[in-house]
Structure 1
Amino acid sequence: MADRRPILILYASAGAGHRSAALAIAQSLRALAPDARVEVHDALSHTNVAFRSLYAQGYLFLANYLPAAMGALYRATDRPDAREFGLRSHLQCLNARPLATWLAGRRPALIINTHFFPAEIVARLRRQRRIECPQFVVTTDFDTHRIWRQSPAERYFTATPDGKAYLERCGADPSAVRCVGIPVRSTFRQPLTQRRARLALGLEERRPLALLLCGGFGVGPTQRLLKALMPLRAIARIVAITGKNERLRRQLQRVTAAARQVHIVGHTTRMALWMHAADVCVTKPGGLTCAEALVCGLPLILVRPIPGQEARNRDYLLERGAAVFVKHAGILAHRVRELLLNDSQRTAMRARALQIARPRAAEDIAREALRLLGRGIAAAEPPTSFEATL
């Protein structure tokens, strides 16, 4: 009889990247094992309302208004003797009792975590023998924080060799750590020319396109960045994508209503097309967004990194030559113009991006999961057509 226990993929809604990684892994699992029961859940939805709001909104508040405090917290908890771990872990477990009860009742075959919060809860439940299923831990930045090492865990998946080495230094069993990259959806890795992407989006073929990804910014910083880019309208089209932030989308549409060559896009399922269509991308150095851009070979212009994981992402991408960093909005237009007018630099950055990209990370994780469970695997993940996203 086939094993009908579900494979649970858990994330936490503190930033959009963890959910994107979870969906990418789920997509690959379903493609490789169509009969498998694969479920994606926000672990915070199984906690009490107050904790859920504090966890998700607290992250956004610190990131947007107190980034220095967030960086200090990141560094303080990345020490072997961090006292904050004990208190934080105790409070999390108290507030995650509904999650623990739910997990014990689900009896999953495997749990795959794309955030450290559910990984920590699962590890504690296993130590208490309340659940027995194996778990995977999937990191979502180019560097790794020790909070991702949760024991027991059968596999850890990191984005880079440095991340793997650091997890091992933090106590992870080297035989359990795999360096596969950050999981992205299959649409990003489909071969697509810039010309075809622009035709699909109804854009002019020849006019340069600067993409501003602003879902992670607040209204004020985004307006300043967009205003800084406005002088480029003489040579380029500027497209700002606000994601699910409707307030931000409406605000930007009001302030750019009369501006030519400026387009505001809200939540879209066409992000892969936009990245393939663009010449450069201005963004915060979030792990998932940057991983998607690398797979598309898109040169990155990084701004406003959150101290901690985003600053480390920035450093990694700068060291590899796939990005440039702009310290403040006053020189943003200058640096974007430089890059748009320098074909050889963009070509070199594109080559370096593709060199370090790991387009099959989600498939590699899915294959490892199915092997662990002894389930049949399709010969290859079927390609995803771009037309399905149009």
Structure 2
Amino acid sequence: MRKKRILLLSEGFGTGHTQAAYALADGLRQIDPDIQSRVIELGKFLNPTVGPLIFAAYRKTVSTQPKLVGLLYRKKYKKSLNRFTQSALHRVFYTQASHVVNQLRPDAIICTHPFPNIVVSRLKRSGLRIPLYTLITDYDAHGTWIDPEVNKYFVSTPEVRQKLLKHNVPSERIVVSGIPVHPKFWGNCSQAEAQRTLGLRPLPTVMVMGGGWGLSLHDDLLQFMTTWREHIQLLFCMGSNHKAIQRMEQDPAFQHPNVRIYGYTNEISALMDASDLLMTKPGGMTVTEGMMKGIPMLFYDPIPGQEEENCDYFIEQGLGERIESRETIARWFTDLQHHYELLRNKRQASQRSLTEAEQCPRAVLDLLH
């Protein structure tokens, strides 16, 4: 019998959509080694010259005009892209998409970004007979995800399920599965072990993440955090923001044994295990990974739109807090310094189980088999 083949399609608008695709692919193989999976950022794959330029322009827009991004998100919130826009998108970027599908011959297609979801839905209307599953990678449900050709939606929470119902998606097509995280995040090692492995000191530890793009906190807040460096270990994960890394490495405030600066790293799971507090932008993947680890979170500069929705959800669930000023940071750092054991016990109590971590890939496997 031929092994089941899964094609996961994403896009490079931010790193979270593709991370979710890889996390699900690896989770499927972890549970069922006979599954064959392939992850493709479809626009970049089909247009290796134009695609990266589009993603770079989006990144610049997010960095310099976040309010514009939020305005567009809210304006189109209740609407799928109209047929003319879908057709233009297909003709300009995705004309060869059917050849990719025909060549790989998957048993199911899973989309983790709205654009390939739109493309595969068009192919299904033209006769494609492959199940289409859509994994919504945030704690919100924007209208661009919605298409009647989608066979199943995998969503993060019952609240997102309710939002899809308001978009007139039939209830039998919605599965509350959680957002998948990489199998690295399915378990936890002790903080002491993680700190030893990473060569860190046995101190209260704060991890600061800027996402894969390395969008960082304001410089004055970064400088403020370093005033605590004698008592609190600071781990700055700056992603691909090489300019910020160089600037920080040359700044005397960051030149201290209790301050570490990382570029893009595959050790995020271990760094979370080693830390007591996570300061991050509220991207869907990062906050889900933090939730699995049970680590309390402070959120800064959410991109208007889905990151604001993620931020609000996690605050409502008591899993995080938004940084309003220096006082927010000072209060948490003071608790870390003086009430360390209490915070550690709370964290251990809120760590998620292996069953919960496996929920999304198992839900997909149930459909395949």
Percent identity of equivalent pairs: 28
* Residues 1:282 and 2:279 are matched in the alignment: yes
Name the structure 2 match of 1:233. 229
SS of 2:129's equivalent in the other structure is coil
Name the structure 1 match of 2:136. 139
Offset, 1:12: 0.9
* Residues 1:316 and 2:313 are matched in the alignment: yes
Name the structure 2 match of 1:177. 174
* Residues 1:119 and 2:114 are matched in the alignment: no
SS of 1:133's equivalent in the other structure is coil
Q: Deviations over 1:320-340 (max 9, x none)?
A: 111111134x44542442442
Q: Deviations over 1:5-57 (max 9, x none)?
A: 63111111111111211111111221232223211111122333565135422
Offset, 1:345: 7.0
Name the structure 1 match of 2:205. 209
Distance 1:223 1:67 in 2: 18
Structure 1 window deviating more from structure 2 (56-65 vs 112-121): it is 56-65
Match for 2:115: what amino acid? Answer: F
Match for 1:53: what amino acid? Answer: P
Distance 1:177 1:220 in 2: 36
CA distance 1:135–1:8, shift in 2 (3 Å):
same
Offset, 1:192: 1.8
CA distance 1:49–1:217, shift in 2 (3 Å):
closer
Which residue of the other structure, out of 108, 115, 119, is the alignment partner of 2:106? 108
Distance 1:316 1:153 in 2: 26
Structure 1 window deviating more from structure 2 (46-55 vs 33-42): it is 46-55
Structure 1: 5+ residue stretches without partners: 375-390
Offset, 1:187: 1.6
Query: Normalised by the size of structure 2, how large is the TM-score?
Result: 0.90
Name the structure 2 match of 1:249. 245
Name the structure 2 match of 1:39. 38
Name the structure 2 match of 1:272. 269
CA distance 1:219–1:351, shift in 2 (3 Å):
closer
Name the structure 1 match of 2:56. 57
SS of 1:38's equivalent in the other structure is strand
Offset, 1:301: 0.8
CA contact (8 A) 1:321 1:352 kept: no
Offset, 1:145: 1.4
SS of 1:191's equivalent in the other structure is coil
CA distance 1:373–1:220, shift in 2 (3 Å):
closer
CA distance 1:243–1:327, shift in 2 (3 Å):
same
CA contact (8 A) 1:108 1:133 kept: yes
Matches within 5 A, 1:144-183: 144-183=141-180
SS of 2:227's equivalent in the other structure is helix
Offset, 1:78: 0.6
Distance 2:106 2:314 in 1: 37
Query: Normalised by the size of structure 1, how large is the TM-score?
Result: 0.85
Which residue of the other structure, out of 89, 99, 118, is the alignment partner of 1:92? 89
* Residues 1:373 and 2:363 are matched in the alignment: no
CA contact (8 A) 1:24 1:362 kept: no
Structure 1 window deviating more from structure 2 (249-258 vs 228-237): it is 249-258
Match for 1:105: what amino acid? Answer: Q
CA contact (8 A) 2:22 2:182 kept: yes
Which residue of the other structure, out of 184, 187, 193, is the alignment partner of 2:184? 187
Match for 1:128: what amino acid? Answer: S
CA distance 1:350–1:168, shift in 2 (3 Å):
same
CA distance 1:234–1:144, shift in 2 (3 Å):
same
CA contact (8 A) 1:143 1:160 kept: no
Distance 2:340 2:84 in 1: 52
- CA-atom RMSD, angstroms? 2.5
Distance 1:27 1:305 in 2: 28
Q: Deviations over 1:239-271 (max 9, x none)?
A: 101223344333322225634421101222211
* Residues 1:28 and 2:27 are matched in the alignment: yes
Offset, 1:175: 0.7
Distance 2:348 2:153 in 1: 28
Distance 2:214 2:240 in 1: 12
SS of 1:233's equivalent in the other structure is coil
CA contact (8 A) 2:211 2:281 kept: no
Offset, 1:121: 0.6
Distance 1:171 1:219 in 2: 36
Q: Deviations over 1:131-187 (max 9, x none)?
A: 211011111112221222222122111111110111121122211111111110122
Distance 1:348 1:72 in 2: 41
Equivalent residue pairs, number: 366
Distance 1:31 1:200 in 2: 24
CA contact (8 A) 1:183 1:362 kept: yes
Offset, 1:228: 2.7
